[in-house]
Structure 1
Amino acid sequence: MQASKGRCVTVILLTTLLLMGMLYVYFGPPLRKEVVISNHEFHLVSPDHQRWDERIKKLWDYNHLRYPQPSIVKGRTDVVTLTPWLAPVVWEGTFNPDLLDSIYQQQDISVAATVFAVGKYIMFLKNFLETAEEYFFVGFKVHIYVFTDRPDEVPQVKMAPGRQLTVLPVPSSNRWQEISARRMELIQKLIEERLQGHGKYIFCLDVDSKFHGRWGTESLGGLVAVIHPGYYWDPRSNFPYERRPQSRAYVAEEEGDFYYCGGAFGGSLEEVLLLAKTCRSNFEADAKEGIEAAWQEESHLNRYMWINKPSKVLSPEYLWQDFKSRNSEIHIIRFSGVVKNYAEIRPNA
């Protein structure tokens, strides 16, 4: 008898709650508009279909982007597009820029870039900044950090919305090698003190260079290296690695993959921070023993990337040399080092 009464009370309570819910839906305020999004479609689940949310409309456009059918049997055959450890090698003709941009626009990414304009290298900054506005991650949030001992000489360059520049003063030096060597330390501190939680990717670029073509989302990855344009045809025995076993940048004759540029590298904040900390630590340990690697931070970077393989490799399109004629496999030059007289700009050249 008691169990029967208990069930009856439960049924009455549930019925009452159901009726109250129906009355609230019918007489209460309009339901808040909600959006259901999947990888292929979205729809509004609300009685109010009058106003479309612009961001959602963009996601719809991205998900329905029209582009040529991808192929795994047709493409570039004049160059290698995959490393032995299965990292893509990015060349013109190996990616769809519109498709990649649509993917990363949904993630609302931001990209930091560092550039060092110390001493007379300040003369290259205006050209670097102006061409970056034209070609470097156009349409995305970009924050360029300029390290310089001449902050009053930093040029005024108009930047698009969502893009900004920060000038960070650094001491000058009588040796260009010291300027080069300190880069890893300053990059490490920048990430630790300013960028954690405020971005996702960073690229470290030489100021005595300029952009000629798109450098965008196709370059993003965990650890990103750029093939040096001067050595990509050479056997690794010709690479200018640090060959002294006493140095922590040492790479033996039969070791190494490619020779990477010190003037352009990047990736995720986490990966670049680890690279910068390791290279700085090894450089400082070498210095205590009176050793300076053949090409300072570039030598340590190459040692690091031989042991810690980059997850994406950028072709020489991403740091060509203006004094070189373009080889047939170079369909576009995206970024290049300008012609210069080192005796005029380096304090101890």
Structure 2
Amino acid sequence: KCIYCTSFLPQDSLLLCIIQCLFHSYTGLRPKETVSFCFPPFSSFRRQDVLTLTPWLAPIVWEGTFNSEILDNAYKPLNLTIGVTAFAIGKYTRFVGRFLESAEKHFMKGYRVNYYIFTNDPQAIPRVQLQPSRRLSIVPIKKYSHWQEISMRRMEAINRHIAEMSHREVNYLFCLDIDMVFYNPWGAETLGELVAAIHPGYYKVPRSQFPYERRSFSAAFIPDGQGDFYYGGAVFGGLISQVYEFTRTCHMTILADKANGIMAAWQEESHLNRHFASHKPSKLLSPEYLWDDTKPKPPEVHLIRFASVKKNYREIRD
């Protein structure tokens, strides 16, 4: 069987050998049959208008840099189950229905999916018709008085749930914000060992303008001149084992700050960026996968796949 590699790297025999050697670590799974790797015509996948490769050779996923049919032919025989966590605390339960309905149309079509909705109000979660290969689990969680505390507790809750349950149920896990909607396909092109999403507000600005935590006494501190991209906290994921380690580390740095009476500039997002500054993600999702509905779509964003919905933050966080 021949699997075609997407054209994130130039065609080169040495790179082909590297990809063959790293296939198992890149996917985290061993195929059920022997595979060989071939390169398709690269002109059909190349994007010249955007950055498609990081300095550490991690792909940046944009429309036009992959072939969904080829990827599905590689991944679907592995019988994967993809997990999704989302938090619906307080008034955020109003977003669950649209989130799930849009996910059923666009998220990982043709794959088994487990949705894990963390909420303090299980009765407020609407019943949404799911495909036969999908299931919804409600995870009860405490409501805290301040939204910042809820945000800071998310890493802890995900980490505990992985340890207690989801490590037995899913191969990959994506952790997403509930106040968002899928508009276009989100598929196997997003699967990787550890996946981060580039924040839509900062992908065109210089690093000096990234809102990193700049106070040196915070565990989320990133010095001037360090860091590569500014990542959004609304989307991250990867192999279940990698997400476990990632959330554990972020939870520990959050606890370290809390013990010293510190709250990072952007709560868990600051700690997420601190981790990715020193532990590079293996795949980056372009702003197509984390768009802001209040922004106009620029020419380089061919498709908006997943975007936040317009809302009154003051009202829903009250």
TM bin, normalised by shorter chain, reads 0.7 to 0.9
Match of 2:277 in 1: 306
Report the alpha carbon displacement of residue 277 of structure 1 after superposing the two structures with TM.
0.4
Is 1:161 paired with 2:149? no
1:248-295, CA deviations, whole angstroms, 9 ceiling, x for partnerless residues?
100112111000010000000111111100000010111010001011
Is 1:277 paired with 2:256? no
2:294 partner letter? F
Report the alpha carbon displacement of residue 74 of structure 1 after superposing the two structures with TM.
6.4
1:323-342 alignment, distance < 5 Å:
323-342=294-313
Match of 1:125 in 2: 96
Distance 1:73 1:343, change over 3 A: closer
What is the distance in 1 between the residues matched to 2:86 and 2:72?
24
Match of 2:152 in 1: 181
Report the alpha carbon displacement of residue 73 of structure 1 after superposing the two structures with TM.
8.9
What is the distance in 2 between the residues matched to 1:130 and 1:74?
30
- Give the % identical residues: 50
1:61-72 alignment, distance < 5 Å:
69-71=40-42
| Structural RMSD (CA) | 1.8
Query: 2:165 is paired with a residue of what secondary structure?
Result: helix
1:113-165, CA deviations, whole angstroms, 9 ceiling, x for partnerless residues?
00000011111111100000000001100000000111101011000011000
Report the alpha carbon displacement of residue 80 of structure 1 after superposing the two structures with TM.
1.0
Q: Could you tell me which runs of 5 or more consecutive residues in structure 1 were left unpaired when the two chains were aligned.
A: 1-38, 41-58
2:61 partner letter? V
Per mean C-alpha deviation after superposition, the further-off stretch among 224-233 and 194-203 is: 194-203
What is the distance in 1 between the residues matched to 2:219 and 2:207?
19
1:283 partner letter? I
Match of 1:105 in 2: 76
1:75-154 alignment, distance < 5 Å:
75-154=46-125
Match of 1:52 in 2: none
Decide whether the 8 Å contact of 2:114 with 2:170 is kept in 1.
no
TM-score, reference length from structure 2: 0.87
1:280-295 alignment, distance < 5 Å:
280-295=251-266
Distance 1:240 1:178, change over 3 A: same
Match of 1:46 in 2: none
**Which of 130, 143, 152 is the matching residue for 1:172?**
143
Match of 1:24 in 2: none
Query: 1:184 is paired with a residue of what secondary structure?
Result: helix
What is the distance in 1 between the residues matched to 2:45 and 2:260?
53
1:143 partner letter? N
